[in-house]
Amino acid sequence: MRGHAMVASDYAIKAVGLDTQNDMTRITEEREWQLRELRQYMYQE
């Protein structure tokens, strides 16, 4: 299932790129948000 999650997160990045005409700032913000969410999930007690 981890593979599916990785593909889904990449699809989200692709969608942001398409929606914002490949605005790298918005794409970076989306990826950073994904990473913050993942870290919270991984390190919650």
What is the per-residue pLDDT across 3-42, written as a single tens digit (0 to 9) for each? 787 789 999 999 999 999 999 999 999 999 999 998 988 8
The pLDDT of residue 10 is 93
Q: Can you tell me the distance from the alpha carbon of 13 to that of 27, in angstroms, rounded to the nearest whole number?
A: 6
The pLDDT of residue 1 is 62
The pLDDT of residue 22 is 97
Instruction: Please classify residue 20 by burial: count the beta carbons closer than 10 Å to its beta carbon, then call 0-12 exposed, 13-18 middle and 19+ buried.
Output: middle
The pLDDT of residue 35 is 93
The pLDDT of residue 30 is 96
Q: Is 24 helix (H, G, I), strand (E, B) or coil?
A: helix
Of 8, 27, 24, nearest to 16 by C-alpha is 27
Contact 34, 20 (CB under 8 A): no
